[in-house]
Amino acid sequence: MLTVEASADSVERRLGAGELSCPCCAGTLTGWGHARERSLRGPAGKLIRLRPRRARCRSCRVTHVLLAVLALARRADTVDVIGSALAAAARGAGFRSAAAQLGVPAPAVRGWLRCFARRAGPVRAFFAVLLAEAGPDPVMPAAAGSLVADAVAAIAGAASAVAARWPQLGEAPVWQAASAASGGLLLAPGWPPGVRNTI
Ligand SMILES: [Zn+2]
């Protein structure tokens, strides 16, 4: 799986130009059909249909699904919706009020928050490293009062670093930048590397 920009036209163009590299061996990826269509729940419950492109590496021949930066692996909501819930929690909201603000079922929000809280320390460290690599004088966010808030602050701080590293995303919204930096794995098992997660 490889995270790419949301624009299908841009992905197609880069695929055609041989600009996408295999995450396994850095070989050149070529188009290889499509993965099955999926729907994501976006802001205000709006359904967004995605038909992810599939690509195959010319060198190692492994196929990869090109997951749009809007999506996170194993999650049915866009990363913008999930990120808004995490940001609300960072500001001290409980899962019920975050869910009510977003119009999302409360159990889903509870699941995201639990999952994120469990890895908040390593997530903060991951994005702090990204931020530190960004420029000569990075400004580390001050402690925000909770592990979750610190992790969310680090993600926000690293967004511009992400824009520099993945220029095709342009100035991506903060949570899309987090999706890109995690390869879509922000809430997936085993991410960041070295963390054991089951949800
Ligand atoms: Zn390869």
Ligand 1 centre distance from Cα of residue 11 (Å): 18
Q: What are phi and psi of 59, to 5 degrees?
A: -90, -60
pLDDT tens-digit map of 58-79: 999 999 999 999 999 889 999 9
Distances (CA, A) of 97 to 16, 120, 155, 168, 182: 46, 21, 22, 35, 27
What is residue 27's predicted lDDT score, i.e. its pLDDT?
A: 96
Ligand 1 centre distance from Cα of residue 66 (Å): 14
Q: How far apart are alpha carbons 117 and 152 in whole angstroms?
A: 10
What is residue 133's predicted lDDT score, i.e. its pLDDT?
A: 80
Q: Is residue 198 over pLDDT 60?
A: no
Q: Which residue has the higher pLDDT, 97 or 8?
A: 97
Ligand 1 centre distance from Cα of residue 119 (Å): 30
Ligand 1 centre distance from Cα of residue 13 (Å): 19
What is residue 170's predicted lDDT score, i.e. its pLDDT?
A: 67
Ligand 1 centre distance from Cα of residue 134 (Å): 27
pLDDT tens-digit map of 105-146: 999 999 999 999 999 999 999 999 888 887 666 677 777 789
Mean of per-residue pLDDT scores for the chain: 89
- Sheet harboring 53-57: ordered strands across? 2-4, 63-68, 53-57, 29-34
Ligand 1 centre distance from Cα of residue 36 (Å): 22
Q: Which residue has the higher pLDDT, 111 or 163?
A: 111
Ligand 1 centre distance from Cα of residue 59 (Å): 5
Ligand 1 centre distance from Cα of residue 121 (Å): 32
Nearest to 3 by CA among 84, 80, 72, 79: 72
pLDDT band at 160 (very low <50, low <70, confident <90, very high): confident
Neighbours of ion ligand 1 (CB under 5 A): 22, 24-25, 27, 57, 59-60
Q: How far apart are alpha carbons 192 and 87 in whole angstroms?
A: 19
- State percent of the chain over pLDDT 70: 93
Q: Is residue 194 over pLDDT 70?
A: no
Ligand 1 centre distance from Cα of residue 77 (Å): 29
* Pairing label, strands 2-4, 63-68: parallel
pLDDT tens-digit map of 32-63: 999 999 999 998 889 999 999 999 999 999 99
Q: Point out the least confidently predicted range of 15-19, 138-142, 149-153.
A: 138-142
Ligand 1 centre distance from Cα of residue 17 (Å): 17
Do 5 and 11 form a contact (C-beta atoms < 8 A)? Answer: yes
Ligand 1 centre distance from Cα of residue 37 (Å): 24
